[in-house]
């Protein structure tokens, strides 16, 4: 077994995660975690849909921000995809997608304030970076033969429209629709920093222990996501897109002076602003690095590695839930429901809920990341096993699991896992806003102290860390010859 590179890689990551457990802060610090969890489930079971007058508006805003953000993101992402082979474009896209939606929102809040543009751009910018990458991959994989056959002298655009786009259209559409679902999740969590989406009310009711209100919002959110195939129809899309901008809410007018001030003063490192020169700058930078960046990076990396392995283990445990080789249709349906809930709940909301219930430590974050990401990978792998035909006399039970199925899906399992490595790290960093000492904690602190120069440096460090893991993940996937389709 040890001669397989995939097995060796898995064991190496497992060992790193186990080592991480020894240095990580893993604890349940609440006195009655199970009572609180019980109360939460009772709340979900007895939802109160009429608590907040703004609930329906919030739901509408969540959809509107999601639509406008994803639409703009896909438009600009597509344009970028056309020139994606240029190195500066690739670097630019890697950079903008390495910064989480919530960080973008926190940045825009400082100068656009509560203007709808803040929420729209917070989704559109990172999504444009992701769209650019995935669209360009899809375009690259299209059959090159038809364009070779076109009469010489055909314009590049006509050739693109006829020979490239139609071939990729279905894939582009499927992926965009899939991202729209992600966009709704992103839109919902923007409420946690004050935009008028679902997260705003969820945070309020949750922090005040109003679990029935919170339960109602979660249920509405699941229904919204689960019914997407019904209400998102190609024919209705233009209508949605035209209407969505009108549902973003009122907000406040933008004062352009604030924008200028942000870029020319706020984010300029304070030693430079105060004329202390390069000497001042280097001691300032040293201070940021030692007191904030390094502890933040350390915690982010440790938490990411633990969460990555936990995600892997959970996916391997979860996929039989929806695999036809293990369960009948009835149990499979409940398996589907579980996985849909796990993957539709943004990890930020899961982590927030668990933090409230179990108290602050890395544990709630690990569980939240594992549930969400494990739900996604478990779903994909489970679906993949359903295309496998086993011989009639194949063993049953655990032997079937360990001898027949896991070996067949292990490579794609690893591919998905390494693909999500960077996503897990991006989320890990952002969970710091909730009070875990990852990079997001220090970014949030700097913003709370109105030190945007520090916040900016820390966000840039977070972005570089994400890019680094992205590159490493791709290197490992290439090294192990793993292939995958993008997930979000």
Q: Does 157 bind another protein (CB under 8 A)?
A: yes
Neighbours of 483 (CB within 10 A): 10
* C-beta separation of 213 from 48 below 8 A: yes
* C-beta separation of 47 from 216 below 8 A: yes
Which range binds another protein by CB under 8 A, 145-153, 216-224, 366-374, 471-479?
A: 145-153
- C-alpha 76/C-alpha 78 separation (Å) is 5
At residue 346, what are phi and psi to the nearest 5 degrees?
A: -60, 140
Q: Does 255 bind another protein (CB under 8 A)?
A: yes
Segment 442-461, which members bind another protein (CB under 8 A)? 444-445, 447-451
In terms of Cβ atoms closer than 10 Å to its own Cβ (0-12, 13-18, 19+), residue 53 is exposed
- Could you please report the per-residue DSSP string of 124-174? HHHHHHHHHHHHHHHHHTS-SHHHHHSPTT--HHHHIIIIIHHHHHHHHHH
Segment 291-310, which members bind another protein (CB under 8 A)? none
Nearer to another protein, 262 or 413 (CB): 262
Q: What is the DSSP letter of 255?
A: -
Nearer to another protein, 282 or 333 (CB): 282
Tell me how far, at minimum, the Cβ of 166 lies from another protein, in Å.
Answer: 4
Tell me how far, at minimum, the Cβ of 26 lies from another protein, in Å.
Answer: 12
Tell me how far, at minimum, the Cβ of 101 lies from another protein, in Å.
Answer: 15
| Collapsed DSSP state (helix, strand, coil) of residue 223 | helix
Which range binds another protein by CB under 8 A, 80-88, 197-205, 368-376, 423-431?
A: 197-205
CA distances from 211 to 44, 207, 397 (A): 7, 9, 39
Segment 397-426, which members bind another protein (CB under 8 A)? none
Tell me how far, at minimum, the Cβ of 345 lies from another protein, in Å.
Answer: 20
- C-alpha 61/C-alpha 247 separation (Å) is 6
Which range binds another protein by CB under 8 A, 91-99, 139-147, 418-426, 468-476?
A: 139-147
Among residues 27, 21, 116, 11, the alpha carbon closest in space to that of 72 is found at 116
Tell me how far, at minimum, the Cβ of 252 lies from another protein, in Å.
Answer: 4
Which range binds another protein by CB under 8 A, 88-96, 249-257, 326-334, 379-387?
A: 249-257
Nearer to another protein, 151 or 329 (CB): 151
Of the candidates 21, 37, 298, 359, which one interacts with another protein according to CB under 8 A? Answer: 359
* C-beta separation of 277 from 413 below 8 A: no
| Residues 25-54 as x/- pattern, contact with another protein by CB under 8 A | x---xxxx---x------------------
How many chain residues interact with another protein (CB under 8 A)?
A: 66
Q: Does 151 bind another protein (CB under 8 A)?
A: yes
Residues 6+ apart with CB under 8 A from 218: 44, 202, 345, 349
| Collapsed DSSP state (helix, strand, coil) of residue 2 | coil
CA distances from 127 to 186, 192, 195, 236 (A): 10, 19, 18, 22
Of the candidates 229, 234, 238, 253, which one interacts with another protein according to CB under 8 A? Answer: 253
Segment 55-84, which members bind another protein (CB under 8 A)? 60
* C-beta separation of 207 from 67 below 8 A: no
Q: Does 389 bind another protein (CB under 8 A)?
A: no
Residues that bind another protein (CB under 8 A): 25, 29-32, 36, 60, 109-111, 113-114, 143, 145-146, 148-155, 157-159, 161-163, 166-167, 169-170, 192-194, 200, 203-204, 207-209, 236, 239, 243, 246-247, 249-253, 255, 258, 270, 274, 359-360, 435, 444-445, 447-451
């Amino acid at each position: 077994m040890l001669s397989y590179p995939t097995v060796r890689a898995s064991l190496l990551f497992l060992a790193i995660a186990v080592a991480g457990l020894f240095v990580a802060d893993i604890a349940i610090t609440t006195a009655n975690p199970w009572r609180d969890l019980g109360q939460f489930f009772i709340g979900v079971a007895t939802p109160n849909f009429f608590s907040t007058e703004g609930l329906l508006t919030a739901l509408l805003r969540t959809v509107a921000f999601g639509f406008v953000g994803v639409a703009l993101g896909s438009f600009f992402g597509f344009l970028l995809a056309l020139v994606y082979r240029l190195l500066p474009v690739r670097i630019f896209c890697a950079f903008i997608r390495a910064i989480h939606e919530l960080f973008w929102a926190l940045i825009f809040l400082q100068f656009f304030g509560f203007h709808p543009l803040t929420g729209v751009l917070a989704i559109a910018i990172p999504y444009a970076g992701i769209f650019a990458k995935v669209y360009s991959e899809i375009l690259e994989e299209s059959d090159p033969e038809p364009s070779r056959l076109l009469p010489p002298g055909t314009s590049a655009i006509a050739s693109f429209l006829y020979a490239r786009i139609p071939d990729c259209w279905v894939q582009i559409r499927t992926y965009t629709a899939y991202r729209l679902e992600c966009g709704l999740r992103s839109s919902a969590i923007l409420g946690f920093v004050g935009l008028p989406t679902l997260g705003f009310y969820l945070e309020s009711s949750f922090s005040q222990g109003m679990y029935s209100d919170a339960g109602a919002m979660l249920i509405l959110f699941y229904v919204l996501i689960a019914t997407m195939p019904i209400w998102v129809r190609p024919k209705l899309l233009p209508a949605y897109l035209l209407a969505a901008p009108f549902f973003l809410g009122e907000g406040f007018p933008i004062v352009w002076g604030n924008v200028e001030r942000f870029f020319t003063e706020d984010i300029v490192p304070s030693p430079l602003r105060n004329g202390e020169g390069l000497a001042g700058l280097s001691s300032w930078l040293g201070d940021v690095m030692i007191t904030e960046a390094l502890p933040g990076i350390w915690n982010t990396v440790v938490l990411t590695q633990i969460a990555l392995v936990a995600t892997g283990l959970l996916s391997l445990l979860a996929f039989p839930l929806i695999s036809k080789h293990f369960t009948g249709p009835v149990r499979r349906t409940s398996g589907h429901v579980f996985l849909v809930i796990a993957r539709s709940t943004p990890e930020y909301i899961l982590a927030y809920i668990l933090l409230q219930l179990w108290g602050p430590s890395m544990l709630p974050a690990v569980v939240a990341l594992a549930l969400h990401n494990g739900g996604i990978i478990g779903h994909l792998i489970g679906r993949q096993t359903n295309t496998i035909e086993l011989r009639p006399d194949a063993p049953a039970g655990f032997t079937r699991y360990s001898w027949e199925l896991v070996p067949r899906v292990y490579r794609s399992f690893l591919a998905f896992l390494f693909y999500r490595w960077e996503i897990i790290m991006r989320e890990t960093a952002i969970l710091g806003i909730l009070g875990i000492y990852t990079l997001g904690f220090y970014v949030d602190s700097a913003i709370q102290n109105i030190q945007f120069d520090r916040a900016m440096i820390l966000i840039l460090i977070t972005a570089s860390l994400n890019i680094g893991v992205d590159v490493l993940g791709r290197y490992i996937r290439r090294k192990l010859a793993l292939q995958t389709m993008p997930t979000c």
